Structure 1
C-alpha cells in the first residue's frame, strides 16, 4: 500500500505492480472519460426525453473528457506499455504541456458549476440574471486556466527538454520542475477551497430552511437525490484537496494519478444515475411515472433553466417559486418544501 500512495517511482521500483496499475489507470481513463462521458454529454444535449441541463454541468463533463484524451496520448500513439518503443520528444512535450493544465481546468469548472447552483438555491437571482457575455466568460474560464498552465509548461519544456521524461511519472510523460508543479497545486487548492466554502454555504441554507419549515409546521420533503449528490461532490473535493497536498510534499506519489483516473468515474456515476438519463438509456423499458426534480416548466432548478437563450429573465416571474432562506417568506409560502425545489 505504501508503494501505491507514497512512492510513484519508476517501473523497476514498482516491480510487478507496474503493469497492473498501468492497466487500471488506462481502463478508467478510456472507459469512463473517453467513452461513457461523451455518451452522457450527447444524451444531455440531444435527447428530447432528458430534462435540460445547465451549460456549466455539461462544461464539467467536457473537461473530464479532455483530461482522458490528454492522459492517453501515449496509449493512442502505441507507446503506453514499457515494452513499446520510447515516445518521441515531441509527443512527450505535447502530452506534458496538456496534462499540467488538467487540475486547474477541473477545479475552475466545478467552481463555476457550484456558483450557479448556489445562485439558484440562495434565491438571490445571481444565476438567473447572468448576461450572455458573462456566461461565456465563466464557461470559458476553465479552458483559460488550462491554456495558461499549458503554455507555461510548454515554454519550460522547450527550454529544458531533458527534464521531460516518462520516468518521472511512468503512466505518462511529465516535466521534472517542482516550482511549476507547486504553482499548479497551490492554484488548485485555492479554487477547491472556494468550492468547499460554497458547499458549506449550501448546507447551511438547507439546515436553516429545514428549521424554518419545521417551525411553521409545513411538511418537510427532502430531495434525497440532491443531498446525495452534494455529499458525494463534497467528499470528492475534500479528497482532491488531500491529494493536492500529497502531491506538493511527495512529487512522485501515485495518489494524484489514481485520483485523476477515478475522477471521471465519479462524475459519470453522479450525473449518469439521474432518473431521466437512465430512462433514456433503458430504451427497452416502457416509460413509467418517473419523478425528475424539478419537473414543472419554469420551476426553479438548475437542470431546466436556459440561462443563455434568455439572459434577461424577469426575476419577478420566479419570486413565488424560488425558495427564500428567511422564515418570514416561508410562512407566507404556498405549502411547498424548500428541498423539493432543488436540482438533482
Structure 2
C-alpha cells in the first residue's frame, strides 16, 4: 500500500475521530446544562472538564475545519501548534480537577471537620487554574512559533506532534489519584453502600483508570520514539470518544434526549437522608460536607 495514501487515510481517520469527540462532548454539555437547571447536581469543575475536551478536539481538527489540511497558512499552522501544545495540559489539568473533586468529596463526606469553606476555595481553583495554564502555554507557544518560524510545520503523518511527556506525567498522576479514590470507596464501602450508587461510581472510575493507563502507554511511546507511525496518534484520538462515553452515559444526561418517555414522579432527589456522598454522577456538587455531618450525627441521636 502506498505510504502517502496510508498517511492520508490516517489523517482522515484522526480528524473524523476528533470531530466525533467534540460533537459528543457538545451534546454532553448541553444535556448537563439542561439537567443543571433542574437539579444543580454538577459543579463548575465538571463543566470545565467537558469544555476542555471540546477545545482539545477542535485544536487537533482545526486544519480540516478551516479547509487548509494540505497547504495551511503559516499563521494558522502556528496557531494550531500552539492550541495543540496547550490542549494537552488543559485536558490533563481539568481531568485531574475532576478526580481531585471526587476525592475531596469522599474525604469531606467521611470527615466530621467543618471543611466546607476550604472545600469551596479548592474547587474554585480547580475550575480556574487549568484555563490559566492553557492561556500561558498557548501564548508561550505562539511567541516561540513567531520567533522560530521553521518550527511550525506538519508532522510526517500530517498531524501535529504531541506533548508526550506531559501526557505521560498527567496519566501517572491520574492513576495514583484514582487509585486513592477506589481505596477510600472500598475501605468505607459499608458507610457508602447506603447510596446504592457507589458501585456505579467505582466502575466508572475503574474504566477511566484503564483509559488513563492507555494514555500513559501511548505517551511513553511518543517520548521514546518521536517518529513512530500515525497509528498511535489515531489510537490517542480515541481517548476523547471513550472519555465522552464514560462520562456521558449517566442516566440523567441520557434521559434528556429520551423526551418521548414519561418521567417518574421522583426526579430530583439525589441525596437520601442517610447518604454521605452524591453518587448520581462521576462528579457531584458541593453537598458532601453537610451530608457528612448528617451521617456522623445519626449515631449520637440513636445513642
TM over 0.5: yes
> Where do 5+ consecutive residues of structure 2 fail to align?
none
* 8 A Cα contact 1:71 1:99, kept in partner: yes
Whether 1:223 and 2:194 are equivalent positions in the alignment is: no
- SS of corresponding position for 1:53: coil
Whether 1:266 and 2:255 are equivalent positions in the alignment is: no
Give the number of aligned pairs.
293
Structure 1 distance, partners of 2:119, 2:184, is 26
Structure 2 distance, partners of 1:130, 1:321, is 20
* 8 A Cα contact 1:97 1:151, kept in partner: yes
Q: Once superposed, which parts of structure 1, at least 4 consecutive aligned residues long, lie more than 6 Å away?
A: 289-293
| Alignment match, 2:257 | 281
RMSD, aligned α-carbons: 3.5
Structure 2 residue corresponding to 1:165, chosen from 129, 153, 156? 153
| Alignment match, 2:26 | 38
Whether 1:244 and 2:222 are equivalent positions in the alignment is: no
Alignment deviations for residues 264-309 of structure 1 (CA, whole Å, 9 cap, x no partner): 21222112211111111111112247889944489632758654xx
* 8 A Cα contact 1:105 1:145, kept in partner: yes
Structure 2 distance, partners of 1:314, 1:263, is 30
Q: What TM-score do you get using the length of structure 2 for normalisation?
A: 0.81
Structure 1 distance, partners of 2:253, 2:288, is 30
Q: Judging changes above 3 Å, is the alpha-carbon distance between structure 1 residues 192 and 314 closer, same or farther for their aligned structure 2 residues?
A: closer
Note the C-alpha offset of 1:139. Answer: 1.0
Alignment deviations for residues 232-252 of structure 1 (CA, whole Å, 9 cap, x no partner): 110111111111111111113
Alignment deviations for residues 194-240 of structure 1 (CA, whole Å, 9 cap, x no partner): 22221111222222224x67xxxx98956332122111110111111
Structure 2 distance, partners of 1:225, 1:30, is 29
Structure 1 distance, partners of 2:198, 2:159, is 41
* 8 A Cα contact 1:93 1:164, kept in partner: yes
| Alignment match, 2:129 | 141
| Alignment match, 1:150 | 138
Q: Judging changes above 3 Å, is the alpha-carbon distance between structure 1 residues 316 and 97 closer, same or farther for their aligned structure 2 residues?
A: closer
| Alignment match, 1:129 | 117
| Alignment match, 2:78 | 93
> Where do 5+ consecutive residues of structure 1 fail to align?
1-11, 175-180, 308-312, 323-328, 335-344
- SS of corresponding position for 1:285: coil
Structure 2 residue corresponding to 1:106, chosen from 91, 94, 98? 91
* 8 A Cα contact 1:36 1:268, kept in partner: yes
| Alignment match, 2:168 | 189
